[in-house]
Amino acid sequence: MEISDVKIATRLTLAFGVLALLIVVMGGASMLKAGAMEESHHKVVSQSYPTIVAVNKIKDEINIIERSSREALIMNNPADIKKELDLSAANRADVAEAWQKLQSQIVTENGRARCPKSMRRAARTAALMTSSWVW
């Protein structure tokens, strides 16, 4: 029996049956991948995003410290200089606090190994400068 001997209605039924089978297979594959996507989304929301927020907070605070230090060097009025130095000291304390929070969020050894050395140095420097900044 050849395909040309089969009625058109039978051929159309078989073709639509194959299409329906393909749709079911694709739906099953997408359901399996949805679980993996949900797991990845959970990882990003619970681990990666808070870490990114903490790193950006540290970066912003360091920029404020840099601006305040620059302004303190440029200014002539002792009251303004003291205000800028006090702002720098407060922001250095915020950097140290944010760094401690960031370190507590990184729980894997691989994550701790990947922490940039510059961030560790910046936190140590900020802690030292908070306690020993003298003009």
What is the tens place of the pLDDT at every residue in 91-116? 888 888 888 887 777 777 777 777 66
Q: How confident is the model at residue 130 (pLDDT cuts 50, 70, 90)?
A: low
Give the pLDDT confidence score for residue 65 in this predicted structure.
Answer: 86
Q: How confident is the model at residue 25 (pLDDT cuts 50, 70, 90)?
A: very high
Q: How confident is the model at residue 20 (pLDDT cuts 50, 70, 90)?
A: very high
Q: How confident is the model at residue 13 (pLDDT cuts 50, 70, 90)?
A: very high
Give the pLDDT confidence score for residue 50 in this predicted structure.
Answer: 83
Q: How far apart are CA 84 and CA 67, in angstroms?
A: 9
Give the pLDDT confidence score for residue 69 in this predicted structure.
Answer: 82
Residue 77 main-chain phi, psi, to 5 deg: -75, 120
Question: One-letter amino acid identity for 108?
Answer: T
Q: How confident is the model at residue 135 (pLDDT cuts 50, 70, 90)?
A: very low
Confidence check: pLDDT of 6 > 80: yes
Write the CA distances from 52 to 74, 94, 105, integer angstroms: 33, 16, 10
Q: How confident is the model at residue 132 (pLDDT cuts 50, 70, 90)?
A: very low
Tokens 């003009």 appear where? 135
Q: How far apart are CA 75 and CA 25, in angstroms?
A: 71
Q: How far apart are CA 74 and CA 81, in angstroms?
A: 9
Residue 4 main-chain phi, psi, to 5 deg: -70, -20
